[in-house]
Structure 1
Amino acid sequence: MAGLGRSFGYLWGSTGLSNLADGFVKVGAPLLAVSLTRSPTLVSLVAAAGTLPWLALALHAGALADRADRRRVMVAANVARAGVLAVAALLAVSGLMNLWVLVAAVLLAGACEVFADLTAQSVLPMTVAATDLTRANSRVSAAQLIGNDFLGAPVTGLLVAILPAAVLGAPALLYGAAALLLLGMRGAYRPAAPADGRRPPRQEIAEALRYLWGHRVLRGLAITAGLLNLANAAYFAVFVLWAVGDGSRVGLTPGQYGLMMTAFAAGAVLGSLLSERAAALFGETRTLLGSWLTVSLLLLVPVAVPSPVALYPTAVLWGLLGAGANVLVISTRQRLIPAALLGRVNSAYRLLGMGGMPVGALLGGVVAEAAGIATVLVGATALCLAAIPVAWRALFDQISGRLTSEPAFSDISRTR
């Protein structure tokens, strides 16, 4: 890609293809689940299966990213999840698809995703200069969102109605193509061994956990991200039941639900591309906290106004604000974490940030079964609002100069 190098172009292209595949799975799996059952608890199992591997494998994936050739890890992960979904598609064509086959396929593909995604975030600083990280991350984020939602969502909504097996078969082909593109990257992508030599993986993982917990900004952001993701996992695990079907409050068809995700993606792409400019205009801290606060409040809109007319513009704002905040957080982590620790500390951060998602998804299904879907949606919003002060306090302390050993968050873009 112009200005960022040829290797980044291959990485960027692979990211676009793999995230288009992610979009098929992300939107298609819940819609397939709804076609198999209307139980909130059972539908939430599919969402939980996609995120449970983060809880079990994140630390090990990070340790591997700091030891092995990162490009090869990504190639292997893409090939593996292509194989898993190809088998699931064949089972669907053979009439053997049921909820438990779907859960197993999503679970195994999710395990591969942990290794692919963590390694991708660790390989990017080896591909572009530190001064280009925010720009590169904004491009990567835009590619992820275009694939996940802008292209994947509407096509998936149609495929669920026309040819359900293709929802699993198409991403299998895309993951395979993404693996092939990565082979075009040139350069060395194996991290240098520490001067004092390698230690047992358990000790290296413990070192990363100590670093994360001892860093005020990273710790505050990780805790906030964990609470936000837990709440959003509960919210969106049952949101499809609130939005789709004859008995739902919003009354969307699967195709219209796909279009809603496209609206989300349109906003997200714009937010990714504008994040650097917004941070320069308002400051990174104000942009991040303001985005988190606003997007949390907007979660109440589908409850207060359960109408497609209100839902589509709300989805645009969800995407715009959420993606912009995500770019800032990822770039911040990549700058603050030492290169030798990047894979492991990144994985520890994402364990805290994403480990609660399967818990949230299952909790959302159980609470919806007992107390109704609206209770989950409102409760998740309240948890999001309660989480934001954790990050605000960490960033406030940093900007106030109480932590003189770490760069001020608002000045991170100028530290290298």
Structure 2
Amino acid sequence: MTTDEASAETATGQSAADESTADESAGDAAGDSAARKASAPAWRGGFGRLWGAAVISRFGDALRAAALPLLAASLTDDPLLIASVTACGYLPWLLFGLLGGAVADRVDQRRAMWAVDLVRGVLMAGFALAVALGHSTIALLIALAFLLTTFQTLFDNAATALLPAVVPRDTLAGANARLMTGQQVASGFLAAPLVPALLILGASAPFAVNAATYVVGALLIASLRTEAPPKPPKAAGSTLRAEMAQGMRALWRDSALRGLSVATALTNIGMGALIATLVLHITGWLDAGNGGYAAALTAYSVAMVAGGLVAPRLAVRIGRIRSILVAGIVQTCALVALGTIRELWAAIAAMAVFGVMSMVWNVNQATLVQERSPAQMLGRISSAFRTLSIGGAPLGALLGGLVAGAWGLNTPALLAAGAFTLAVASLGALIN
């Protein structure tokens, strides 16, 4: 993932359920065809408001993502405890990810999204107040990360299912690229560099701004006039558990999505290890301070903007799955450089290269899921994909904390490189 968390992954079309005979070449051909048809979506008709809500919410999330590790590091110097904050931010995807997808297929996705944003705004406001009053603890940080991600399982799956109702199918790749690029502009050009300035105002300032962005995002989503995709009547006796199982089976029968979910799970082991300990890598192993940490995050986010321009074009030339394979190879090389060259400039360069290829991976992954999933099952299939793939992140975060404490603060980057190598090998097998 590359994530972010995450984040922000809006991921309709061809049924995965009746693609049980699709092989690797068929998956790539479908991706090629869709990529050639892809064009930029119109800002009118609801996409502009959805884009605005996604961008401003990501801006707030990026403030929190950058400030939270710094707050954790100020409370403890134990790498495992700091990594636990990140790990608990991923754990709800394992516990509630499938449930969030099934609920997203049942409810009005627009209403679910703005309601979730309002709840998250209240939570963040309460947390900001606790930090301002000096009541922040590692336990509180862990609880916040867990609660926010629990609500995010519904929000992200609802957003995935809603996007194809907002834009025409042949503009999905362009819509995904614009969404993700806009989010990275907000987080890279604005949020990450702004964190040190906000911290001058107080440790609670980034979290208070994050709370406000959730409220603004909720208002934008509530103003959408786009109707959610029509939902077929439920079979008598249908249960959430049965519907979740249908989504998992549909994902597993599609060879392209199955292979990609396995590869993404492997990369998320590496991403979990890297994200959970990056603040220690930059401020400790490189001795670059908070400014160096902000510079590395900025390089990553700004480079993802360039990746948003590259991703659709690369898919047209070589196909979606091959684009993801290329991205994984380049990311592996960047991680090796990050973990072996003890210079801030090398870390900034490695994070920039990593960021370009992260966007190539994310855009093509999200679009492939949309293209190969029937509209009435998109929430469930995307949640099954996320649950399988994100499942590696909390494990990686804990492993990163352990290896950093045992063998050095640079070793999580090398652990991540090993995980990406396995992912590249599995994608190569999918194509061949």
State the TM-score, normalizing by the size of structure 1.
0.90
Which residue of structure 1 aligns with residue 10 of structure 2? none
- Does 2:76 correspond to 1:76? no
Superposed CA deviations along residues 59-90 of structure 1, whole A, max 9, x for unmatched, are 01100110000001111111111111100111
Which residue of structure 1 aligns with residue 81 of structure 2? 42
Amino acid at match of 1:117: D
1:106 aligned to which of 145, 152, 158: 145
- Does 2:307 correspond to 1:266? no
Matches within 5 A, 1:372-411: 372-396=408-432
- Does 2:264 correspond to 1:225? yes
Relative distance call for 1:308 and 1:372 in structure 2 (3 A) is closer
- Does 2:60 correspond to 1:28? no
Which residue of structure 2 aligns with residue 87 of structure 1? 126
Q: CA deviation at 1:374?
A: 3.1
Amino acid at match of 2:407: A
Distance in 2 (CA, whole Å) between partners of 1:379 and 1:311 is: 16
- Does 2:171 correspond to 1:132? yes
Q: CA deviation at 1:392?
A: 2.3
Amino acid at match of 2:341: V
Q: Give the SS at the match of 2:143.
A: helix
Distance in 1 (CA, whole Å) between partners of 2:416 and 2:349 is: 20
1:176 aligned to which of 211, 215, 237: 215
> Could you tell me whether the CA contact under 8 Å between 2:285 and 2:410 is conserved in 1?
no
Which residue of structure 1 aligns with residue 49 of structure 2? 10
Which residue of structure 1 aligns with residue 356 of structure 2? 320
Which residue of structure 2 aligns with residue 302 of structure 1? 338
Q: Give the SS at the match of 1:373.
A: coil
> Could you tell me whether the CA contact under 8 Å between 1:157 and 1:256 is conserved in 2?
no
Superposed CA deviations along residues 166-203 of structure 1, whole A, max 9, x for unmatched, are 12111000001000001221121154124746711111
Distance in 1 (CA, whole Å) between partners of 2:71 and 2:262 is: 33
Distance in 1 (CA, whole Å) between partners of 2:174 and 2:69 is: 33
Amino acid at match of 1:180: L
Superposed CA deviations along residues 20-47 of structure 1, whole A, max 9, x for unmatched, are 1110111111111111111100110111
- Does 2:244 correspond to 1:214? no
Q: Give the SS at the match of 1:6.
A: coil
Distance in 2 (CA, whole Å) between partners of 1:385 and 1:43 is: 26
Amino acid at match of 2:420: C
Amino acid at match of 1:315: M
Distance in 2 (CA, whole Å) between partners of 1:239 and 1:215 is: 35
- Does 2:377 correspond to 1:341? yes
Amino acid at match of 2:156: D
Q: CA deviation at 1:349?
A: 0.3
> Could you tell me whether the CA contact under 8 Å between 1:5 and 1:128 is conserved in 2?
no
- Does 2:350 correspond to 1:311? no
Amino acid at match of 2:372: L
Relative distance call for 1:118 and 1:195 in structure 2 (3 A) is closer
The 10-residue stretch of structure 1 (342-351 or 46-55) with the greater mean CA deviation from structure 2 = 46-55
Which residue of structure 1 aligns with residue 195 of structure 2? 156
Relative distance call for 1:369 and 1:191 in structure 2 (3 A) is farther
Which residue of structure 1 aligns with residue 154 of structure 2? 115
Superposed CA deviations along residues 264-321 of structure 1, whole A, max 9, x for unmatched, are 1111011012211122234333322111111122101122212112122222111111
Distance in 2 (CA, whole Å) between partners of 1:257 and 1:376 is: 16
> Could you tell me whether the CA contact under 8 Å between 1:67 and 1:190 is conserved in 2?
no
Superposed CA deviations along residues 136-185 of structure 1, whole A, max 9, x for unmatched, are 00001112222333321111233335411012111000001000001221
2:102 aligned to which of 42, 46, 63: 63
> Could you tell me whether the CA contact under 8 Å between 2:52 and 2:220 is conserved in 1?
yes
Distance in 2 (CA, whole Å) between partners of 1:353 and 1:80 is: 26
The 10-residue stretch of structure 1 (261-270 or 104-113) with the greater mean CA deviation from structure 2 = 104-113
1:242 aligned to which of 281, 285, 293: 281
RMSD of the TM alignment (CA)? 1.7
Relative distance call for 1:324 and 1:365 in structure 2 (3 A) is same
Distance in 2 (CA, whole Å) between partners of 1:206 and 1:285 is: 26
Distance in 1 (CA, whole Å) between partners of 2:357 and 2:255 is: 24
Matches within 5 A, 1:283-302: 283-302=319-338
Q: Give the SS at the match of 1:66.
A: helix
Distance in 1 (CA, whole Å) between partners of 2:417 and 2:286 is: 18
2:244 aligned to which of 184, 205, 224: 205
> Could you tell me whether the CA contact under 8 Å between 1:32 and 1:160 is conserved in 2?
no
Amino acid at match of 1:277: R
Which residue of structure 2 aligns with residue 355 of structure 1? 391
Amino acid at match of 1:200: T
> Could you tell me whether the CA contact under 8 Å between 1:235 and 1:377 is conserved in 2?
yes
Distance in 2 (CA, whole Å) between partners of 1:61 and 1:202 is: 11
Amino acid at match of 1:167: P
Gaps of at least 5 residues in structure 1 are: 397-416
Superposed CA deviations along residues 235-283 of structure 1, whole A, max 9, x for unmatched, are 2211211111xxx221222133112211111110110122111222343
> Could you tell me whether the CA contact under 8 Å between 2:340 and 2:410 is conserved in 1?
no
> Could you tell me whether the CA contact under 8 Å between 1:150 and 1:261 is conserved in 2?
no
Q: CA deviation at 1:358?
A: 1.2
Distance in 1 (CA, whole Å) between partners of 2:63 and 2:238 is: 40
Relative distance call for 1:32 and 1:161 in structure 2 (3 A) is farther
Higher normalized contact order (CA 8 Å, seq sep 6+, divided by chain length): 2
The 10-residue stretch of structure 1 (144-153 or 90-99) with the greater mean CA deviation from structure 2 = 144-153
The 10-residue stretch of structure 1 (191-200 or 210-219) with the greater mean CA deviation from structure 2 = 191-200
> Could you tell me whether the CA contact under 8 Å between 2:198 and 2:205 is conserved in 1?
yes
Distance in 2 (CA, whole Å) between partners of 1:172 and 1:136 is: 26
Amino acid at match of 1:281: R
Distance in 2 (CA, whole Å) between partners of 1:350 and 1:305 is: 33
Amino acid at match of 1:90: L
Aligned residue pairs total: 393
